[in-house]
A = this chain, B = another copy of it.
Amino acid sequence: MIIDVHSHLWAPPELNSNGMNLLGSDGSYSGMEPRIPDERFVEHLQVLFKALDLVGTDFQMVSPRPFTMLHSRGARLVDVWTRWTNNAVAQQVRLAPDRFIGMAGLPQVPGEPIERVFPEMDRCIRELGFNSVLINPDPSEGLGGVPAMGDPYWYPLYERMCEYDVPALIHAASCCNGRETYANHFITEHSIALLSMIKAGVMQRYPKLKIVVAHGGGSVPYQVGRWRAERGSFPDLGKGSVEGRMNQQEGTFDDALRCFHFDTCLHSPLSVELLIKVVGTDAVCFGTERLGSGSQINDATGRSFDDMKPDIEAMDFLSKDDRYKIFEGNARRLFTGLPD
């Protein structure tokens, strides 16, 4: 079974359209949740089913589409809009429970305590049957001021995740700073989140915490030499002039890195190969975001960029068991609620 740990809601335009009205009314329209008829939704899903079948994906974790989560647009919007989108995820899951399970969007608001997301998180897990959550490491959406994910600000969320035993996918959302596209902001923020959690020793503090870093861990597997070096000691030649050891944490950087999981959503076989070699096969989960940012046709292959299954199957440095872990095994170890 091919399990895709990273995919987003595929809803008809009525959802976003009402979201625009909600935004325009600054939350006044909170009572006007779109009621999309099941048949309309199912019809809309046909494109997605066809796309998944084409590449052989059997099952997806479905979360709200991050770049429209509006986390930086005020609590008044975030609460309502998160509920609407999670409800739409639940509808998609209900319409095809053999293909999807829900991953909850959280009503994060910059400047407010993280505990504010608990009621919606509880609702999604207990009432809607979701098996995981999506964490936006930067709910300011590029405007700054949010503590990085190693900060105690986030610990109550980690505790609750452990209590529920639900994993999280770290995935940034929109970006309004005028310097980065939202697409690049994902990479920026996933890297910051991962390095910050490693530096703070979050996984040592919460050994049962389950984290998947989307888009292959941002820049970290590629820049890994930098972070390994930080834990090294200086050679004799520098004595007296180059100072001691910069990073005084115990263990190697690689040990720390392997406490996390990473999806394969890199749209490039060479990069996925690097990822697997750096973090190991136990830490990589198949994830493609299909239909999404990689669904375009790669002229070099004639296949979509996010059709990664053949590429992984072709990596001869992987054993059969390695491939099983990546396609299915690691996901089964992390997530509950998956079909047999």
Q: Report which A residues bind B (CB closer than 8 A).
A: 12-21, 23-26, 28-29, 31-32, 34, 44, 47, 50-51, 54, 65, 67-70, 74, 76, 143-144, 146-148, 173-184, 187-188, 191-192, 195-196, 199, 215-216, 218-219, 221-226, 228-235, 237-238, 241-248, 266-268, 270-271, 274, 277-278, 291, 293-299, 304-306
Q: Which of B28, B228, B297 contacts A233 (CB 8 A)?
A: B297
Name the residue among A24, A32, A245 with the largest chain B CB count within 10 angstroms.
Answer: A24
Q: Say yes or no: A294 contacts B225, CB within 8 Å.
A: yes
Given contacts A17-B20, A234-B296, contact A271 B67 (CB under 8 A): no
Q: Say yes or no: A191 contacts B181, CB within 8 Å.
A: no
Nearest B residue (CB) for A81: B20
Q: Say yes or no: A184 contacts B195, CB within 8 Å.
A: yes
Question: Cα distance A298–B234 when bound, in Å?
Answer: 9
Q: Which of B178, B188, B224, B297 contacts A234 (CB 8 A)?
A: B297
Question: Cα distance A175–B277 when bound, in Å?
Answer: 31
Q: Say yes or no: B232 contacts A305, CB within 8 Å.
A: yes
Contacts of A274 in B (CB 8 A): 222, 270-271, 274
Question: Cα distance A266–B297 when bound, in Å?
Answer: 31
Given contacts A17-B16, A67-B25, contact A266 B226 (CB under 8 A): yes
Given contacts A215-B223, A216-B222, contact A21 B16 (CB under 8 A): yes
Shortest 5 CB-CB contacts between residues of A and residues of B: A225-B267, A232-B296, A225-B268, A13-B17, A219-B219
Contacts of A232 in B (CB 8 A): 296-299, 305
Question: Cα distance A223–B173 when bound, in Å?
Answer: 17
Question: Cα distance A28–B173 when bound, in Å?
Answer: 14
Q: Which of B13, B26, B173, B219 contacts A181 (CB 8 A)?
A: B26
Nearest B residue (CB) for A51: B237
Contacts of A31 in B (CB 8 A): 244-248
Question: Cα distance A12–B40 when bound, in Å?
Answer: 15
Q: Give 14 new A-B contacts, CB below 8 A, not counting A28-B246, A224-B268.
A: A13-B16, A16-B16, A24-B174, A26-B175, A28-B181, A44-B241, A51-B237, A146-B179, A184-B192, A219-B219, A223-B268, A228-B267, A230-B296, A246-B296
CB distance from A122 to the nearest CB of B (A): 24
Question: Cα distance A288–B181 when bound, in Å?
Answer: 30
Nearest B residue (CB) for A231: B296
